[in-house]
A and B are shown apart, each in its own frame.
Chain A
Amino acid sequence: MSEANGIERIAEAFESSARESRAALMPYLMGGFPDLARSQEIGAACIEGGADVIELGLPFSDPLADGPVIHAAGTAALRAGATFAGVLEIAAALAPRIPVIVMAYANSLFVRGVGAAAGALAEAGACGLIVPDLPHEEAGELRGACDARGLALVPLVAPTTPAERLAEIGAHARGFLYTVSVTGTTGERERPADALVEVIARARSSTAVPVAVGFGIGSPAAAADAARAGADGVIVGSRLVRAATDAQAQGASEAAVVRALVRELRAALDVAGAATPVVPR
Chain B
Amino acid sequence: MSAVEHRFGPYGGQYVPETLMPALEQLEQAWTAACADAGFQAELRDLLEHYVGRPTALYHAARLSGLAGHPVYLKREDLLHTGAHKINNAVGQALLARRMGKTRVIAETGAGQHGVAAATACALLDLRCVVYMGTEDMRRQRPNVDRMGLLGAEVVGVEAGARTLKEAVSEAIRDWVANVEDTHYIIGSAVGPAPYPAIVRDLQRVIGDEAREQVLAAAGRLPARVIACVGGGSNAIGLFAGFLDDAEVELIGVEAAGEGIASGRHGAPLSVGGPPGVLHGALEAVMQDGEGQIVEAHSISAGLDYPGSGPQHAHLRDSGRARYEAVEDTDALAAFARLSRLEGIIPALEPAHAIAWVLAHPGSELDLVCLSGRGDKDLAEALALLDDTL
Contact = CB atoms under 8 A, between A and B. Distances in A.
Interface of A: 60-62, 64-67, 71, 75, 78, 83-84, 105-112, 132-138, 155-162, 165, 169, 180, 183-185
A67 B175 CA distance: 10
Interface in B259-318: 275, 277-281, 283, 288, 290-295
B19 A183 contact: yes
A95 to B, nearest CB: 22
B374 interface: no
Nearest to B276: A110
A62 B289 CA distance: 13
A160 B16 contact: no
B387 interface: no
B166 A62 contact: yes
B288 A111 contact: yes
22 contacts: A62-B279, A62-B294, A64-B17, A64-B173, A65-B177, A66-B174, A107-B277, A107-B278, A107-B288, A111-B291, A132-B18, A133-B278, A135-B21, A137-B21, A160-B21, A161-B19, A161-B22, A169-B18, A183-B180, A184-B177, A185-B174, A185-B177
A106 B286 CA distance: 14
A61 to B, nearest CB: 4
B54 to A, nearest CB: 34
Q: Which 6 A-B pairs have the closest CB atoms?
A: A111-B292, A184-B178, A158-B19, A107-B278, A61-B293, A107-B292
Given A60-B293, A64-B173, A75-B161, 8 more contacts: A60-B292, A64-B170, A138-B14, A160-B18, A160-B181, A161-B19, A165-B22, A169-B18
A174 B325 CA distance: 45
Contact of A62 (B180, B181, B280): B280
A180 B173 CA distance: 17
Interface in B1-41: 13-23
**Which of B18, B170, B290 has the largest number of chain A CB atoms within 10 A?**
B18
A137 B280 CA distance: 16
**Which of B13, B17, B181 has the largest number of chain A CB atoms within 10 A?**
B17
A135 B16 CA distance: 7
Contacts of B161: 61, 75
**Which of B15, B170, B277 has the largest number of chain A CB atoms within 10 A?**
B15
B20 to A, nearest CB: 8
A45 B13 CA distance: 39
Contacts, number: 115
**Which of A66, A133, A161, A185 has the largest number of chain B CB atoms within 10 A?**
A133
B383 interface: no
B211 to A, nearest CB: 35
Interface residues of B, number: 36
A78 B288 CA distance: 14
A222 to B, nearest CB: 18
B160 interface: yes
Contacts of A160: 18-23, 180-181
Contact of A110 (B20, B22, B278): B278
Contact of B21 (A75, A83, A165): A165
A62 B275 CA distance: 18
Contacts of B13: 137-138
Nearest to A112: B292
A180 B18 contact: yes
A157 B292 CA distance: 25
A159 to B, nearest CB: 8
B11 to A, nearest CB: 12
Nearest to B292: A111
Contacts of B15: 106, 133-135, 138
**Which of B16, B277, B280 has the largest number of chain A CB atoms within 10 A?**
B16
A183 B14 contact: no
A276 B281 CA distance: 38
A64 B177 contact: yes
A30 to B, nearest CB: 15
A107 B178 CA distance: 23
A107 B177 contact: no
A169 B18 CA distance: 10
Contacts of B291: 83-84, 108, 111
B158 to A, nearest CB: 11
Contacts of B160: 71, 75
Interface string B315-346: 00000000000000000000000000000000
Given A65-B177, A184-B177, A156 B278 contact: no
Contacts of B178: 183-185
A74 to B, nearest CB: 10
A110 B174 contact: no
Contacts of A132: 17-18
Contact of A64 (B16, B22, B181, B292): B16
A112 B277 CA distance: 11
Contacts of A137: 13-14, 21
Contact of A133 (B16, B23, B179, B290): B16
A107 B279 contact: yes
Contacts of A183: 19, 177-181
Nearest to A169: B18
B23 A78 contact: no
Interface string B162-191: 000010001001100111110000000000
